Amino acid sequence: MTRDILVVDNNPVILKLMANFLIKEGHQVKTAEDGLAALEIVKSFQPQIIFVDLIMPRIPGEKLCKILRQKEELRQTVIIILSAAAVEQKINFKEFGADACIAKGPFKEIERHIHLIFRALDEGRLQALGKDIIGTEKVYKRIVTSELLSSRRHFWVTLNNMAEGFIELTEDGRIVYINQVAVDIIGQPEEELLASDFLDIFDQKQKAELSDLLINIGPAAVTIGEGEIFEFQNHYLTITLVALNEDDEKSIIVIIHDITRRKEAEFELQQYQENLESIVHRRTAELKEINRELQDEIEERRQIAREKEGLEAELRQTHKMEAIGTMTAGIAHDFNNLLTAIFGYTELLSLPSNIPKESLSHLHNIIKAASRARELINLIQTFSKPAKEEFIPVRLPIIIGETLNLLRPAIPTQVRLVSDIQPCPPIMGGAVQIQQVLLNICTNAIHAMQEKGGTLRIKLSIPPPSAQNDGTNFVELEISDTGIGISKENIDRIFDPYFTTQIGGEGTGLGLSVVHGIIRHHGGSITVNSLEGQGTTFKISLPSLPSSQVISKKF
């Protein structure tokens, strides 16, 4: 009976002997030097009997039998193990799908045992051969084969207990060995993976990346998945490729390391760091805002404290001025009464026509001195209480012009007068009192510049709207000089009555006190800024009349 037979053995002598024997027996025979070649043959050739050696490169006999049994078209094919190693291993060939096992010995014995199996096959009693290995009586245990099998078992145990996946590929990328870890990672049965194309496991992008590495692989190992993530079926992997060249045969070792837990830990750590950075940034921003608000509050409190200090100083000054003014008003009233009596009695003495001229001259001197005293009393009363002068609309540019005309003859040549008078609405006030303010301040300025000279500047303007208070309109009069200035010790006292820095009886010390009283009675304010050796500036703000009232009156 002619049969289609496939012989798989890595020993070329055995292949030649088996092919010659079987062909001579009238069978059609094909041979394969390893398991991978055998799988290629069965794609187009369906043998009725397959002889398989156990120890072979590129898919050993046990794995090959399992793969063959998975193929539907080979389910009825008789698989016969032909191996000397089967004796040393004491294998159970039935477990991996073989029907019989012949121990390799002298080839004549192999021929006899094959005839025995063919006869049992023809008679339908192949199963009667059982699990015993045929031909063991003519095979003796060999030390080399024993050591080889021991090493092989150690190799399989090692690879199958590795933490990494291990795959061996042919030069063209077909899988010839895969350990259990790699099987579990890929998620396909070992029988389907063996002899398949390694690249077919992955998607198009990963396939292209791995294909380039396989084509260009050199003697050095290359790894992907360390920097850029390599994700495969919910796993994060690193894949290391190593090329091996042995006996002019090239193979590629693939080591797959599942780093999913490590990557997940890294992602969690990264997420934690990002959350922490976000919290830190948010908290930092909050602290900056709190610090800014605190600084604003501190500055506001400092400003309030400064304003409070200024108001307290102003209040003390006001109380002092009011107290001195009350006292001065009383003294001035009593002194004025005394002067009235002096005037009266002096005029009575000067009435008789027989008074000597010398005595009459003395009486006139008394009246003249008393008049000067009355003028002084009037100044004191101006400081101490509102003047009796009636307030009328006053145009400051006119008053300033008249005052400058009075001052010019008294201004030394070394003092330059500069005026900047802008059109302004009128104020309600006393023209004589405003002129008195100008004369007092300007006289002091001229006195401060009489030695070295300088510039006396008078400016009248309307302050910007931001400087207006409570809807009231103001005009601003600024008088500045470049004289000797006022010391820090004296600047807080310049408006005190009877305070003067002039010596030799040149001043009474009432000038600026009177100025302060006049400005206060007019509802205005006066400030002074001075630097020693650089000059002094007085700023006077006076309320002006609304435009509606100006239009309705003629001046």
Q: What is the CATH number of the domain that holds 191?
A: 3.30.450.20
Give the pLDDT band (50/70/90) at residue 161. low
Highest mean pLDDT among 262-276, 338-352, 377-391, 493-507: 262-276
Same domain, 404 and 548: yes
Least confident of 64-73, 223-232, 240-249, 483-492: 240-249
156 within a domain of the structure (yes/no): no
pLDDT score for 151: 45
**pTM, entire model:** 0.42
pLDDT score for 553: 36
CATH number of domain containing 117: 3.40.50.2300
Would you say residue 226 has pLDDT above 90? no
Mean predicted confidence (pLDDT) in 83-97 = 74
Give the pLDDT band (50/70/90) at residue 144. very low
Residue 18: phi and psi, rounded to 5, are -65, -45
Give the pLDDT band (50/70/90) at residue 143. very low
Same domain, 267 and 254: no
Same domain, 425 and 500: yes
Least confident of 29-43, 315-329, 351-365, 414-428: 315-329
Would you say residue 199 has pLDDT above 80? yes
Give the pLDDT band (50/70/90) at residue 486. confident
Cβ(534)–Cβ(527) below 8 Å: no
- Of residues 449 and 385, the one with the higher pLDDT is 449
Same domain, 130 and 168: no
Same domain, 417 and 531: yes
202 within a domain of the structure (yes/no): yes
pLDDT score for 348: 79
Least confident of 217-231, 311-325, 424-438: 311-325
What is the average pLDDT score of the chain? 80
Domain final residue, candidates 384, 416, 450? 384
Would you say residue 279 has pLDDT above 80? yes
Same domain, 368 and 292: yes
- The count of domains in the chain is 4
Mean predicted confidence (pLDDT) in 475-493 = 88
Same domain, 234 and 272: no
Cβ(42)–Cβ(5) below 8 Å: no
pLDDT score for 457: 94
pLDDT score for 505: 42
**Torsion angle, CA of 207/210/213/219, rounded to 10 degrees?**
-140
Mean predicted confidence (pLDDT) in 107-131 = 83
CA-to-CA distance for 176 and 55, rounded, in angstroms? Answer: 13
Q: Which residue is it, tokens 């004796």?
A: 87
65 within a domain of the structure (yes/no): yes
153 within a domain of the structure (yes/no): no
Position 11, amino acid: N
Residues with Cβ < 8 Å from 437, sequence gap 6 or more? 515, 518, 519, 540
Would you say residue 208 has pLDDT above 80? yes
Highest mean pLDDT among 224-228, 317-321, 464-468: 224-228
504: left (phi over 0), alpha (psi -120 to 50) or beta: left
Same domain, 122 and 213: no
pLDDT exceeding 70 applies to what percent of the chain? 82
Residue 11: Cβ-neighbour burial (10 angstroms; 0-12, 13-18, 19+): middle
Give the pLDDT band (50/70/90) at residue 440. confident
Would you say residue 15 has pLDDT above 60? yes
Mean predicted confidence (pLDDT) in 82-94 = 72
Give the pLDDT band (50/70/90) at residue 117. confident
pLDDT, tens only, 21-73: 899 889 999 999 888 889 999 999 999 999 998 888 778 888 889 889 888 88
pLDDT score for 162: 65
CATH number of domain containing 546: 3.30.565.10
Same domain, 331 and 445: no
Q: Which two tokens stand for residue 284?
A: 């930092």
CA-to-CA distance for 71 and 5, rounded, in angstroms? Answer: 17
198 within a domain of the structure (yes/no): yes
Would you say residue 439 has pLDDT above 70? yes
pLDDT score for 147: 43
Q: Which two tokens stand for residue 166?
A: 């291990």
Same domain, 430 and 333: no
CA-to-CA distance for 197 and 174, rounded, in angstroms? Answer: 4
pLDDT score for 500: 65
pLDDT, tens only, 347-404: 877 777 667 777 778 888 888 878 877 766 766 665 555 445 578 898 999 989 888 8
Same domain, 449 and 504: yes
- Of residues 2 and 147, the one with the higher pLDDT is 2
Domain interval for residue 457: 392-552
Cβ(6)–Cβ(38) below 8 Å: yes
Domain final residue, candidates 258, 281, 302? 258
According to DSSP, the residues that pair with 250 across neighbouring strands are: 245
150 within a domain of the structure (yes/no): no
221 within a domain of the structure (yes/no): yes
CA-to-CA distance for 149 and 142, rounded, in angstroms? Answer: 11
Domain final residue, candidates 360, 384, 408? 384
189 within a domain of the structure (yes/no): yes
Same domain, 77 and 58: yes
CA-to-CA distance for 461 and 458, rounded, in angstroms? Answer: 10
